[in-house]
Amino acid sequence: MNGAQALIRTLAACGVDVCFTNPGTSEMHFVAALDDVPEVRGVLGLFEGVVTGAADGYARVAGKPAATLLHLGPCLANGWANLHNARRWFTPVVNIVGDHATHHKRFDAPLESDIEALAGALKGWVRVSATSEQLADDAADAVAAATAGRGQVATLVLPADVSWSDARGPAEPRTAPASSARDGNQIDEIADALRRGEPTGLLVGGRVVAGEDGLIAAGRVAAAASAKLLCETFPARLARGAGLPAVERLAYLGELAEWQLAGLRHLVVVDTTAPVSFFAYPGKPGELTPDGCTVHVLGGDGVDPTAALQALAEALGAPADIDRAAAARPDAPTGELTAESMAAAIGHLLPEGAIVSDEGNTSGLFVPGATAGCARHDWLTLTGGSIGQGMPVATGAGVAAQASGDGRKVVNLQADGSALYTIQSLWTQAREGLDVTTVILNNRSYAILNMELARVGATEPGPTALSMLDLGRPDLDFCALATGMGVSAERATTADEFTAAFERALASDGPALVEAILPDTL
């Protein structure tokens, strides 16, 4: 058994059953070993941003990490942006990066680069596997590191000779550390503060909003404390729909977020961070918590945030029963296709159990509202702010849904500009037969940047500046792009066309794309 075989058997033993790959020469023994360990499914991506984003999407839906396989430093760099997105909201990823053989490093061959510096900048766990004998243990440690605490990106650098030399055999999975007890004092202090009856907000995120238990616990605390219940702006996974407590997401625009938070004297923050502005703007604040508002952090390292919320609910004598979102869907829209009518069509048709990968950006503004009363579904957002995540995350979510066999459909709401970063995702969706419906929100511009141009104070932009934010000249034809990658596609220019096309796409079992031609302003 060589190192690569021991590595992949260890991944399988640790519950990692998918490896998203874009390999090169130094990873050929790993690729060859995939045939020896059919428990680990190899899924090819044509670009590394697809590979890493798919690992993120897979983990968000499957609740366990996937592995990646990348080729040397430049290919880690190609996948780095979506690893940034994963790490910013604690998605576990076992990130395997092949390197030159240990004895080849000193030659400074053309593809030599500082892999550890690139991996280190992800602020996760990094180890260079030194020998084939240690590789299996390194792999088990990497899986344990990826899944420790809230989760992180664990990068294992795999020199080619460590992969091809003889190994002892696979390693055993590591035992997860027991979660520490809740901090009773912390809960008592927060409960005392909330009992004062002052204006209070409860800002939840992370694991709390990923499932029903957390949302109910949050809803109970909010009800007991008459607190405004808010969700972080970009949750990794938000469970929502009819029958679940509804949470209002904090707005992306700092001005709106300040309005949401105005007047609060206490803000309880659970499994997320106190709100800050996404970007800086001249003369505007970075911290969004109002002056005079005390931030209380509930939970911490090793604490189950949902259990902490449940304990707080009990301490406050919260009711067992709370308001849930009522079932309600918009009527099928007719007439012009706009951001609003498109949203109505999606709300009209979104299937029960849908997994929505949302990188709709500006034109997607109305979709959350229009789907709030749909049957239960999950919402995956752009956690780290680096665009080009939506399509890969949908791809990984599609692999997880397909593997689970529960028939869940993936809907990817994808802004046009962002789509072009990782459009290669469509090919993997076609190859793997994934049940992903992509909706391209085509407004022919980086509309969000036109807005940001004004927000930073550049109020009279000239033609050159505007052309840098314009995606016309030439117009992108997403139907042609999809067809070129083997995904069937339709273009919709009216609300009726969109509704019909979206319905047909959902009815098909494999991937499909609907290009919605939208106005360039909301």
| Residue-by-residue DSSP string for 262-276 | TT-SEEEEESS---B
The nearest distance, CB 3 to a second copy, in angstroms, is 12
CA 375, 432, 46, 353: dihedral to nearest 10 degrees? 10
- Asked if residue 197 binds a second copy (CB under 8 A), the reply is no
The nearest distance, CB 13 to a second copy, in angstroms, is 19
Enumerate the H helices of 262-388 as residue ranges: 305-315, 339-349, 367-371
Residues 260-319 that bind a second copy (CB under 8 A): 273, 276-280, 282, 286-287
- Asked if residue 409 binds a second copy (CB under 8 A), the reply is no
337 and 516 in contact (C-beta within 8 Å)?
A: yes
The nearest distance, CB 213 to a second copy, in angstroms, is 26
- Asked if residue 256 binds a second copy (CB under 8 A), the reply is no
406 and 378 in contact (C-beta within 8 Å)?
A: no
The nearest distance, CB 466 to a second copy, in angstroms, is 9
Stretch near a second copy under the rule CB under 8 A, chosen from 74-82, 126-134, 215-223, 237-245 = 74-82
Q: Is the CB of 167 or the CB of 349 nearer to a second copy?
A: 167
User: Which residue type sits at 231?
Assistant: C
Q: Is the CB of 292 or the CB of 463 nearer to a second copy?
A: 463
Place of tokens 């792009």: 481
- Say how many C-beta atoms besides its own lie within 10 A of residue 304's C-beta: 18
Stretch near a second copy under the rule CB under 8 A, chosen from 125-133, 145-153, 160-168, 500-508 = 160-168
Residues 378-397 that bind a second copy (CB under 8 A): 383-386, 388
d(CA 117, CA 120): 5
d(CA 485, CA 482): 5
Stretch near a second copy under the rule CB under 8 A, chosen from 323-331, 369-377, 416-424, 500-508 = 416-424
Site size for a second copy (CB under 8 A): 100
Out of 24, 199, 290, 302, the only residue in the binding site for a second copy (CB under 8 A) is: 24
d(CA 389, CA 382): 7
> Which residues lie across from 296 on neighbouring strands?
268
Residues 94-133 that bind a second copy (CB under 8 A): 100-101, 103-104, 107-111, 113-114, 117-118, 120-121, 123
- Asked if residue 178 binds a second copy (CB under 8 A), the reply is no
Residues 477-516 that bind a second copy (CB under 8 A): 477-481, 483-486
- Asked if residue 207 binds a second copy (CB under 8 A), the reply is no
- Asked if residue 68 binds a second copy (CB under 8 A), the reply is no
| Residue-by-residue DSSP string for 231-253 | E-SS-S-EEESTTS---EEPPSS
HSE value, Cβ hemisphere, 13 Å, CA-based, for 36: 17
> Which residues lie across from 491 on neighbouring strands?
515
Residues 342-381 that bind a second copy (CB under 8 A): none
Q: Is the CB of 194 or the CB of 518 nearer to a second copy?
A: 518
378 and 237 in contact (C-beta within 8 Å)?
A: yes
Residues shown for the chain: 522
The nearest distance, CB 45 to a second copy, in angstroms, is 10
Q: What is the CA radius of gyration of the chain?
A: 24
Q: Is the CB of 83 or the CB of 342 nearer to a second copy?
A: 83
